Amino acid sequence: MLTFLCCFFLSGCAHAVIVSPENEGIHSNRNGDYFAFYPIPMSQATTAAKLALKQTGMAYDAEISHTPSQTVLAGLSTTQYVMKVTLDAVNPNRTKVTVHADYFGEKALSLRFQHLLASAIKNAGGAH
């Protein structure tokens, strides 16, 4: 019982998974969302996120909404995984990118997306 409670408690807390120069650490929440902050404008993060969606194996991706402070992208894999990526402009040079893969938050796919996103940003010379 104690092990279950500890796991339940820990799974509900946001925690850092990885830190790189391209982000300030990947965090998760109890909803199965994985998010990170990137020191780049939202427009650059959106371009990199679209590339990361393709590299993740999404057969279809689309921008489903866009405002000056938020962009929402969606992807669908050939195996019918649904991935939703929300980009929020924290300030002009900082973007929060949240990914939710599948209905229950597919951890491996979400983390793969965040790693590919960090790599795309690094290769574009976006983060310093």
pTM: 0.79
The confidence score (pLDDT) of residue 70 equals 97
For 79-97, give the DSSP string: T--EEEEEEEEEETTEEEE
43-68 tens-digit pLDDT:
999 999 999 999 998 888 899 999 99
The confidence score (pLDDT) of residue 22 equals 60
Cα separation, 74 vs 56, in Å, equals 12
Could you list the residue range(s) of the whole structural domain that residue 50 is in? 2-123
Residue 117: inside a domain: yes
Give 7's pLDDT tier (boundaries 50, 70, 90).
very low
95-109 tens-digit pLDDT:
999 999 887 778 888
Residue 107: inside a domain: yes
Residue 49: inside a domain: yes
Contact 34, 45 (CB under 8 A): no
The residue to which tokens 């402070």 are assigned: 69
Whichever domain contains 119, its CATH number is 3.30.160.690
The residue to which tokens 């599948």 are assigned: 102
Residue 128: inside a domain: no
> For residue 31, what is the DSSP state?
T
Structural domains of the chain, count:
1
